[in-house]
Chains A and B, each alone.
Chain A
Amino acid sequence: MSRAPRAAPEIGSRTAALTEEGYMTEVTVTISNRAGIHARPAALIVQTASKFASKIWLEKGSDRINAKSIMGIITLGASFGTPIHIMADGVDEAEAAAAIQTLFDSKFEED
């Protein structure tokens, strides 16, 4: 799972990287709610991610987890101000990444 740390992309910028099957949508966000990602935000992310067919990952530093796994997201330990890299790969990857980004931007309806 752990990979060499890469240069942090500019926050909010959406890029497309080439994967084996084709391009992958990537976007970087910052945790903007004070409490960080605890159980409730994690459930929201999973709920949103599960609506899409694409594979979705969240990356914090060198840890990458499946965005459809609730325990995985919680164990990321994403606290306030942490940059999180969202990656989506599949038929609806653009919508998926956008939906998750919206969640982060809305501070998970907290604060």
Chain B
Amino acid sequence: MPNKDENRFTVLDLLDLDLKEQNTLNLRCIGGRKGLPREITTPDLNRPGLALSGFYESFAWQRLQIFGRGENAYLKMLAEQGNVEIYEKLFSYPIPCCIFTHNLAPSKAFFDAAERAECPILQTDLTSSEFSSRVLRVLLDIFAPQTSIHGVLVEVYGIGILLTGDSGVGKSETALELIERGHRLVADDVVEIRCVNGSILMGQGANKVIGHHMEIRGLGIINITHLFGVGAIRDKKQIQLVCELEEWDSTKVYDRIGTEEMTTEILGVHVPKLEIPVKPGRNIPIIIETASMNERLKKMGYHSAKEFNQNVLRWLESENARALYFNRDDYL
């Protein structure tokens, strides 16, 4: 994750990323260590073939430079010809780093040039195409627009639900009851949200140290993982529904039918939103559970409220037809 204090994402941060399974980059630094604090400013890649052959117009130096088999073979040829000033020219640009795929390693002359220019050289055992797709995915995630929202993110029946509302309205208590009922906590209090692909909102805890702890009034800070087990937590989850809890306001009109859908906008993405009034005697966790299942039904194409209204309209229509039949005088 980007270094929060400075909000810079450096080559060192790239090496430090804690990635899992299909996202691992298997990167290690094989030269130019002094350049590790260089900043990566854009989530893009460049194959520097044209630059190596001496064409520097529109050279995308600010991107990660990927050296695959082709580039490496070309470098080798240059080294054999003793044509190493091309290296100097390449490193005269402040490129963030050079990455060699297929576990390839450049010649000594290239290393020396990189050391002098303090440009880090990284190596991975992945193929160029595989590495490109993985690193792009990772970088797009890191450079995605992000915000943080005060609330609790829980996963209920597979739907990511963001509970929001004023403090003291019972967000944490509702989440606790949901966890008790077998659902999962993603983040409490501060939820960090990233907009991935321009349409998906990924929520996660803002801080690894806070992890899956919750503050419950009267109890203090509790550790959800220890209390409920790893089955009760989740690292990140897409936000698919926002439930805003609020004190019951008798002057306010709450949705009674549910045919009109409200949405809220987070990072430019519209998410379905429910306003749930809270008052003593209302079991909010069960309402949230039901909302989650109803949301799943909607995703499957069955909209309870609309379907119900269709049935009512059909029934009223048939009543009309009956009336027409029985009271000819009135209608014909």
Please report A residues at the B interface, Cβ cutoff 8 Å: 35-40, 42-43, 46-47, 70, 74, 77-82
Is there an interface contact between B257 and A39, defined as CB atoms closer than 8 Å? yes
Residue of B at shortest CB range from A81?
Answer: B323
Is there an interface contact between B308 and A39, defined as CB atoms closer than 8 Å? yes
Is there an interface contact between A46 and B256, defined as CB atoms closer than 8 Å? yes
Is there an interface contact between B312 and A74, defined as CB atoms closer than 8 Å? yes
Cα A46 to Cα B257 in complex, Å, equals 11
Candidate in A38, A40, A77, A81 with the most chain B CB atoms within 10 angstroms: A38
Digit string of B297-332 for contact with A (CB within 8 Å is 1, else 0)?
000000001001100110111011001000000110
The bracket for how many chain B residues form the interface is: 10 to 19
Question: What would be 22 A-B contacts, judged by CB atoms less than 8 Å apart?
Answer: A35-B313, A36-B313, A36-B317, A36-B320, A38-B313, A39-B259, A39-B305, A39-B308, A39-B309, A40-B257, A40-B309, A42-B257, A70-B256, A70-B257, A74-B312, A77-B315, A77-B316, A79-B316, A79-B320, A80-B320, A81-B323, A81-B330
Q: Which of chain A's residues have a CB closer than 8 A to the CB of B257? A: 39-40, 42-43, 70
Is there an interface contact between A79 and B317, defined as CB atoms closer than 8 Å? yes
B319 is contacted by which of A39, A42, A74, A77 (Cβ under 8 Å)? A77
The total number of A-B Cβ pairs within 8 Å is 48
Q: Which of chain B's residues have a CB closer than 8 A to the CB of A82? A: 319, 323
Is there an interface contact between B253 and A38, defined as CB atoms closer than 8 Å? no
Interface residues of B in 204-233 (CB under 8 A from A): none
Is there an interface contact between A36 and B259, defined as CB atoms closer than 8 Å? no
Shortest distance from the beta carbon of B104 to any chain A beta carbon, whole Å? 67
Please report B residues at the A interface, Cβ cutoff 8 Å: 253, 256-257, 259, 305, 308-309, 312-313, 315-317, 319-320, 323, 330-331
Q: Which of chain B's residues have a CB closer than 8 A to the CB of A38? A: 309, 312-313, 316
Cα A46 to Cα B320 in complex, Å, equals 23
Residue of B at shortest CB range from A37?
Answer: B316
Q: Which of chain B's residues have a CB closer than 8 A to the CB of A74? A: 312
Cα A43 to Cα B330 in complex, Å, equals 29
Cα A38 to Cα B308 in complex, Å, equals 9
Q: Which of chain A's residues have a CB closer than 8 A to the CB of B256? A: 43, 46-47, 70
Shortest distance from the beta carbon of A72 to any chain B beta carbon, whole Å? 12
Is there an interface contact between B253 and A35, defined as CB atoms closer than 8 Å? no
Q: Which of chain B's residues have a CB closer than 8 A to the CB of A78? A: 316
Shortest distance from the beta carbon of A92 to any chain B beta carbon, whole Å? 16
Is there an interface contact between A79 and B259, defined as CB atoms closer than 8 Å? no
Cα A47 to Cα B316 in complex, Å, equals 22
Cα A80 to Cα B315 in complex, Å, equals 12
Is there an interface contact between A36 and B330, defined as CB atoms closer than 8 Å? no
Is there an interface contact between B323 and A39, defined as CB atoms closer than 8 Å? no
Shortest distance from the beta carbon of A68 to any chain B beta carbon, whole Å? 11
Q: With A43-B257, A46-B256, A47-B256 given, can you name 17 additional A-B contacts, CB distance below 8 Å? A: A37-B316, A38-B309, A38-B316, A39-B308, A40-B257, A40-B259, A74-B312, A77-B315, A77-B319, A79-B317, A79-B319, A79-B320, A80-B316, A81-B330, A81-B331, A82-B319, A82-B323
